[in-house]
Amino acid sequence: MAHTHEHHHCESCEHHHHHEGETRRQLVLILVAALLLVGAVLVEHTLHLATWQLLLVYLVPYLLVGYGTLKEAAEGIAHGDFFNEHFLMTVATVGALAIGFLPEAGHEFVEAVAVMLFFSVGELFEAYAEGKSRDSIAHLMNLRPDTTTVVRDGKELIVTPEEVAVGETIVICPGERVPLDGVVLTGATALNTAAITGETLPRDVAAGDEVVSGCVNLSGVVTVRVTAAYGESTVAKIIELVEHAGEHKSHSETFIARFAHIYTPIVVLAAVALVVIPTLLGGALATWLYRALMFLVVSCPCALVISVPLTFFAGIGGASRRGILVKGANYIDMLAKVGTVVFDKTGTLTHGVFDVTAVHPATCDERQLLHLAAHVEHFTTHPIGAALRNAFPDEAIDGCAVEEVEEIAGQGISALIDGKRVSVGNIKLMEAVGAEWRDCHHSGTIIHVAIEGVYAGHIVTNDRIKDDSAQAIDALRQAGVAHTVMLTGDRDEVGAHVAAKLGVDEYHAELLPADKVQRVEQLLTQRERGKWLAFVGDGINDAPVLARADVGIAMGGLGSDAAIEAADVVLMDDKPSKVALAIKIARRTLSIARANVVFAIAVKLTVLLLAAFGLATLWLAVFADVGVTVLAVLNAMRALKSHKL
């Protein structure tokens, strides 16, 4: 199994390079074809060649740049999908090449190649904008320890997790990741489960408790009896979930593809009618064939094909200037139509770091209580310790003697401060020292303090809600998002407290990564038609859900690599209010794209009518096409400016 992991890693890298190379090759092809086209025009003007010889000269750049399009068109026909944009391009350009062989017509080789060239540029823009950032989930492998210490015949051996059998005993030291799922045999420690559950509070485990792979061991040495082989472990399952989630995703068809399906058959039928009907009525075949082909060239949706992807590309650029990374044009399309936004709590709506939110002393004053707690927690690695230290930063000035610091796993810490035994921890610790603790009406994690076995009060710590979380939910409501949901691995009362404070429509608490995926799947079935579901999260445990939602939005500042890989949109500065901004930018981009389409079609129809009555030449047709394209491209660039939103 170890080898397959290595192999997988290399493959993803190769895949990535392959994609970059592909875009570069495409660019070189376009430049070479453009030069050859210029060359062909020079050849035509200097040498007097027969039409068929000229055709051969023009065919070189045409086939060079159009090969991919022709191939796609042929594949479409083979699959019975005639009317895609590739087919339209092929008919129009092949028609333009063929006109030259009619007795009274001039040839239109230049346009044929130019049209194909423009089309390829548009496609290149799209490919570049997509920038395949979801190629590798190799980062997820950080979750997986490369080695583990197993006890065999009384000796400690270092092996890979795959080599450990169910029932064997492994030793996990502080700072190591738990390699396999199992049950603690000896020792006690605190585990950081953030990578798996997103839960910020470390989980205390002692003999008989279950441990889950992927967590980090914080404080003590434990021996664990393995209960599941590596392939069945939590980490392996999460990695697999992410790798397969992409397959379920419904990609909204690109706008152009949808448009071409309606537009192409109409244009082709109209062109056929333009040849058949007048000829039957006694018109000259060549004249009407020329008009029909001109009709096709004019109708060739060049401006659309370039400006629409370009609008999306500019929208992506405009969003990235605001710290919102969108990984593809189709996600702009989907963001504009988001109807449900699901948030993960920890690290997304909250900071994932603890703060002291209330101090309730029983015997001394607040300052004294915090002071003692900060001293006792001075050396601990526990996040709550950090919160208590931050709440009382000026402890450097006082000269209290702190001795005999003792960490009691699963309970808390006690120490001698100026000769008095101060215990700081949970209810279990209070009961152990015989202090009469009181419960608290505040939601959060309650830290109790006792001095010499006498209850001194408690301190409430809470995961701090981000400053703009409430505003984020509000902004989404104003943007017309009908439904907001919060999911969390945290305890129910914490979930309820945060949900009430922020005003989300519904919340679900105490969820594991797999439960989150299930919840999202359930919500996916309930959403309205044409409305998409976005999930916003940051932890490794969110990666499967991010990949499963229609649009996965990851927090990029603090978020894990795995989540950023699995997401479709990344918010670089961890502000949940950026979700509403992303939706606004997407909607504006879409409206610019629509304006381009309407404008381009209006100009096209005018020239088409003129062409049908013989009042337009192919050059006018091409001019209309290029002119519209230039204007549409300039309009598309407006999508770059997002600072007004």
Catalogue the active-site residues: 344
Q: Angle, nearest 10°, between helix axes 578-612 and 618-636?
A: 170
Q: How many residues does the chain have?
A: 645
Would you say 544 and 234 are in contact if contact means Cβ atoms under 8 Å apart?
A: no
- Which helix or strand (DSSP H or E) is residue 29 part of? helix 2-46
Q: Which residues have a Cβ under 8 Å from the Cβ of 113 and sit 6 or more positions away?
A: 33, 37, 40, 58, 61, 62, 65, 93
The 8-class DSSP code of residue 441 comes to: S
Residue 280 has a CB neighbour count (10 Å cut-off) of 8
Question: How far is residue 439 CA from its own chain's centroid?
Answer: 42
Would you say 384 and 391 are in contact if contact means Cβ atoms under 8 Å apart?
A: no
Q: Which residues have a Cβ under 8 Å from the Cβ of 276 and sit 6 or more positions away?
A: none
Q: Which two tokens stand for residue 98?
A: 């063929």
- What is the SS3 string spanning 224-260? EEECCCHHHCHHHHHHHHHHHHHHHCCCCCCHHHHHH
- To the nearest 10°, report the CA torsion of 237, 243, 248, 249: 130
Q: Going edge to edge, which strands form the sheet with 445-451?
A: 350-361, 454-465, 445-451, 420-425, 412-417, 402-408
d(CA 3, CA 233): 18
Closest CA to 447 of 355, 542, 556: 355
Would you say 215 and 193 are in contact if contact means Cβ atoms under 8 Å apart?
A: yes
Its sign, for the CA torsion 395, 401, 407, 411, is negative
The one-letter code for the residue type at 203 is R
d(CA 539, CA 51): 65
